[in-house]
Amino acid sequence: MKRLPCVLAIALALATFAAPGSQAADGEKLMKKCKACHTWNEGGKKKVGPNLFGVTTRPAGSSEGFKYSKGFRKAQDAIGMWDDTKLDAYLADPSRYLKSLGGGRSRMTFKLKKEKDRAAVIDYLGTLK
């Protein structure tokens, strides 16, 4: 009977971590907010924003055929390759992030304010390879 509290504690600890893919599934749902400006299917067209397929595996500002803002182009080299930390900062406040890197305003005015929403979207973007 003494093992029961230990087993319950372990079960509770494991339950607090999202199962692989569950956060990405939430991110996929959240991405519906992005469809007015972006596509994210392989070979998808550019809209107001670039196609996001493979965004986590390519250098920032490298979506073929998309004309990035002057502010984004100025910060592009400082961003380099996107990673979770950079994407999190960008999605939280795109213009603030670009300005912190010596760039200027972003055309993207949408901000994902909740950290858990940004994490879910970033996880989902990571599945698009």
pLDDT in tens, 36-76: 999 999 999 999 999 999 999 999 999 989 999 999 999 99
- Residue 34 confidence class, pLDDT cut points 50, 70, 90: very high
Better-predicted residue by pLDDT, 22 or 76? 76
29 secondary structure, DSSP code: H
Q: What share of the chain in percent tops pLDDT 90?
A: 82
64 secondary structure, DSSP code: T
pTM as predicted: 0.82
Q: Indicate the helix (H) or strand (E) that contains 11.
A: helix 3-16
Separation CA 103–CA 60 (nearest Å): 13
Q: Indicate the helix (H) or strand (E) that contains 31.
A: none
Q: Which residue has the tokens 């004309």?
A: 67
Residue 15 pLDDT exceeds 60: no
CATH number listed for the domain at residues 19-127: 1.10.760.10
In terms of Cβ atoms closer than 10 Å to its own Cβ (0-12, 13-18, 19+), residue 114 is: exposed
CB of 88 closer than 8 Å to CB of 70:
no
- Residue 21 confidence class, pLDDT cut points 50, 70, 90: low
Q: What are the phi and psi torsion angles at 102 (to 5°)?
A: 90, 5
Token couple for 88: 């999190």
Separation CA 79–CA 31 (nearest Å): 22
- Amino acid 2: pLDDT: 54
Instruction: Tell me the Cα Rg of the chain.
Output: 18
Q: What is the mean pLDDT of residues 94-104?
A: 96
